Amino acid sequence: MARDRSGVRVRVVVIGDIGVLGDMIHIGDEAMFEAAAVQLRARGATQITAISANPAESAARYGVDAVAPIGFGGLDRTASEKRMASVIRLASGDIAGPAFAPDDPARAVIDAVAQAEGVLIAGGGNMSSVWPMHIYERATLGAIAAARGIPLVITGQTIGPELTADDERILAALLSSAAAVGVRESASLELCRRIGVTAPLHAGVDDASFLVGAGLDTPTAPPYCVVTLANHIAGADREQFLSSAAALLDYVAEATGLAIVFFAHFASLNGTSAGDSVVHEQVLARMASPASVAPTTDARAAAHLARNASLVVTSRYHPAVFAAPAGVPVLGIAVDEYTTVKLTGALGNFGQSGVLPLADLLAGHGPAAAMDLWEERDSIRTASATLAAARSREMDEWMTRVANLLGASGAN
């Protein structure tokens, strides 16, 4: 139900994979939540309640209320099915259902939904059988919303590509229960259709694509190539991967004259060696060219760095999401089907196609792929300007529709 914001409090519950734990931040997950919060606030949401792995940290970071997830981590499928059913009974007011401890996190989530005008499942790539706990968390949240008569919208998702039959069933029910579902690549759109999703579907871009505007800031000097490499290499020989990555970056430095700057997207905020930083240190140690490391801080800093680069080399997703709308050539290293779907979608949305399969990197084809991109940099930037403008308008229209469906209508 749309609300007149004059004197009316419009509360939206938003879930994303957020919450810095042990000083480890995942830039992409934080970026999607932050972008959704910005968009909702601009359209009349007066209060956002985040579902976060670290509620106090997220509340302070974003100026929101926050509660812990319902909690499916560490549970097998049988236990997850049982907990999901029990929480739904609790949300439905079934006093004969199983007892819940006063401090069970499900109670706080149910209370937050009951007080909200709408529930948003923000963008992400976690609706996959690789992470069943995320599927159960979101499916249970959607069922709570349905039990309480609260509208649910889902935005910016990659669905699958790996899904068991049970997860297809759960996701089909969750997605079909939404007032609208937004996906961020054509492969996810087709998968939704295949599993019988009945909700209105929207093919768009990642929620964080325009987190800091169009990204056409004045580039900093000297011109640089930003590099982000994840630890996941799908069982490939690690030494071969590290050596091939180093050879690729040495070639980029020599052929383009760009400074090489490493930036970790999954990393420690206190500068310790962890996450992507470990891989970066190992690649840097094998390089002949000089390189620097930019400290990991937050999503806006990561977006600024990517959008002002002259080239991006990444096996993670969000460097591509940040860079492509600004017309920065991106060489995305795809290590499996999941990263192939995501990188192909993120780049294709802005007219790029520089996805390099891991096998090709290991075979020594990285330098040629990088040079192809570098030689096409002017045409990439020109083409992306038109596409970015269109995608930005589409994003604006989509988020206005999302806000309307969630009861926060109009712009401030």
pLDDT per position as a tens digit, 137-163: 999 999 999 999 999 999 999 999 999
- Looking at residue 57, its pLDDT comes to 98
Banded model confidence at residue 8, pLDDT cuts 50, 70, 90:
low
**Residue 97 or 274, more confident:** 274
pLDDT band at 94 (very low <50, low <70, confident <90, very high): confident
Model confidence at 302: pLDDT above 80: yes
Give the integer Cα–Cα distance in Å for 292 and 40. 37
Q: How confident is the model at residue 408 (pLDDT cuts 50, 70, 90)?
A: confident
pLDDT score recorded for residue 187:
97
pLDDT at 167: 98
Confidence at residue 321, expressed as pLDDT on a 0 to 100 scale: 98
Interatomic CA distance for residues 277 and 228, integer angstroms: 9
| 102-123 pLDDT per residue, tens | 999 999 999 999 999 999 999 9
Query: Which H helix or E strand runs over 312?
Result: strand 311-314
**Rounded to two decimals, what is the model's pTM?**
0.95
Instruction: Give the CATH fold of the 224-375 domain.
Output: Rossmann fold (3.40.50)
Region for 214 from its dihedrals, namely left if φ exceeds 0, alpha if ψ lies in -120 to 50, beta otherwise:
alpha
pLDDT (0 to 100) of residue 99: 83
Torsion angles phi and psi, residue 218, rounded to 5: -70, 120
For residue 4, name the pLDDT band (cuts at 50, 70, 90): very low
Indicate the pLDDT class of residue 311, thresholds 50, 70 and 90. very high
Q: At what angle do helices 27-42 and 55-62 cross, to 10 degrees?
A: 50
CA 318 and chain centroid, separation: 7
pLDDT at 95: 72
5 pLDDT more than 50 = no
The pLDDT assigned to 214 comes to 42
**What integer is the mean pLDDT of 9-33?**
97
Mapping DSSP to helix (H, G, I), strand (E, B) and coil, where does residue 347 land?
A: helix
The percentage of the chain sitting over the pLDDT mark of 90, rounded to a whole number, equals 92
CATH superfamily of 11-208+392-406: Glycogen Phosphorylase B; (3.40.50.2000)
A 10 A CB-CB count for 3 gives 17
Express each pLDDT in 331-388 by its tens digit: 999 999 999 999 999 999 999 999 999 999 999 999 999 999 999 999 999 999 999 9
- Predicted confidence at residue 125, as pLDDT, reads 94
The stretch 66-89 carries a mean pLDDT of 97
pLDDT band at 216 (very low <50, low <70, confident <90, very high): very low
Average pLDDT score over residue span 379-405? 97
Return mean pLDDT, the chain. 94
Domain with CATH 3.40.50.2000 in the chain: 11-208+392-406, 224-375
Q: What CA dihedral angle connects 308, 310, 314 and 318, to 10 degrees?
A: 30
Is the pLDDT at 263 greater than 70, yes or no?
Answer: yes
Phi-psi region of 327 (alpha: psi -120 to 50; beta: other; left: phi over 0): left
The dihedrals phi and psi of 115, each to the nearest 5 degrees, come to -95, 0
Mean per-residue pLDDT, 163-185:
98
d(CA 344, CA 353): 7
pLDDT at 9: 78
Pairing of strands 266-268, 259-263: unpaired
- Measure the CA–CA gap between 206 and 318, rounded to whole angstroms: 9
pLDDT surpassing 50 at residue 206: yes
